[in-house]
Amino acid sequence: MRVVVVGGGIAGLLAARVLSEAHDVVVLERDELSDEVEYRAGVPQGRHVHGLLVRGGELLEGLFPGLRDELVAAGAVLADAGDMRILNPLGWLARTRTGLPLLSLSRPLLETAIRRRVTAEIVDGVHVTGLSLRDGTVDGVLTRDHGKIGADLVVDASGRSSKLANWLAEAGSRRRSPRSSTRAPGTPRGSTPRRRTSPWCTRKACPRRTCRGGAR
Ligand SMILES: Cc1cc2nc3c(=O)[nH]c(=O)nc-3n(C[C@H](O)[C@H](O)[C@H](O)COP(=O)(O)OP(=O)(O)OC[C@H]3O[C@@H](n4cnc5c(N)ncnc54)[C@H](O)[C@@H]3O)c2cc1C
């Protein structure tokens, strides 16, 4: 099966890593990608320092054995998760040894290290503009400068700027828009409160829609 993954960020690269075990995968990324560790426009949050938490680190290590050591050798800071300074409504939590590894690193470093290890084809400078449908079934993607690229399966990993709902509508799909969820995976339906009061909020008239004002 030929799979097109839209977006070469972390989600796109990991989808490609897993799918390429059984399929012919191509990742389409609109940015020009460098072999060096560099910031890029498509990931504006890349300038913000990132932390690779324990479970994420374990999962990445499973997909890319030796990745943690490689990142540390390249400058990532390895710490004990209990070293993190955490402020909660009761005050600062005490630091404690947990034995659980936490990596502090730049987003470009993490992404570049993963990209070097993904064996799927990664094509940069390709801006996906829509879906191609045939007889009501997605059979590829449409791109700004490269026409249609055929696929048996399209994975949308274009992040927060995803236009998937618009693409489906433009393509004439009569299917309902994809459901979106802010629930954490595995969290039972209905267990997330509809409105949350932020314990951090000290503003009397907080502009956040979900905040009822917190501490007053
Ligand atoms: C300030 C900030 C700090 C953060 N800190 C952390 C942290 O410490 N630890 C952590 O784990 N997470 C952190 N995150 C969250 C993390 O950065 C995101 O969850 C993660 O980047 C999402 O990955 P993604 O691959 O889904 O999307 P993205 O990283 O947004 O990647 C989407 C990719 O798709 C490409 N793309 C978009 N549209 C198209 C198109 N039409 N055609 C082709 N390509 C397209 C983009 O160029 C981009 O490369 C932080 C986020 C922010 C905003």
**Residue whose CB lies within 8 A of the most ligand 1 atoms, among 18, 39, 107, 124, for a mutation test:** 107
What spacing in Å lies between the alpha carbon of 163 and ligand 1's midpoint?
14
CB of 140 closer than 6 angstroms to any ligand 1 atom: no
Q: Give residue 136's pLDDT band: very low, low, confident or very high (50, 70, 90).
A: confident
**pLDDT given for residue 171 in this prediction:** 77
Radius of gyration of the CA atoms of the chain, in A? 21
Write b or e for each residue in 60-85: b if 16 or more Cβ atoms lie within 10 A of its Cβ, otherwise e: beeebeebbeebeeeebeeeebeeee
pLDDT per residue over 84-103, tens digit each?
888 889 899 899 999 999 99
Question: What average pLDDT does range 154-172 have in this prediction?
Answer: 90
**Residue whose CB lies within 8 A of the most ligand 1 atoms, among 13, 29, 131, for a mutation test:** 29
Atom of ligand 1 nearest to the CA of 158: 34
Q: What angle do CA 22, 171, 143 make, to 5 degrees?
A: 65
Q: Give residue 172's pLDDT band: very low, low, confident or very high (50, 70, 90).
A: confident
pLDDT per residue over 32-73, tens digit each?
999 999 999 999 999 999 999 999 999 999 999 999 999 999
What spacing in Å lies between the alpha carbon of 82 and ligand 1's midpoint?
26
Q: In terms of Cα–Cα distance, which of 131, 118, 120, 117 is closest to 26?
A: 120
* Contact between residue 197 and residue 211 where contact means Cβ atoms under 8 Å apart: yes
Take atom 26 of ligand 1 and give the residue whose Cα is closest.
159
The Cα–Cα gap between 208 and 195 comes to 11
Read off the pTM: 0.84
Mean pLDDT of the chain: 87
CB of 187 closer than 6 angstroms to any ligand 1 atom: no
What spacing in Å lies between the alpha carbon of 42 and ligand 1's midpoint?
8
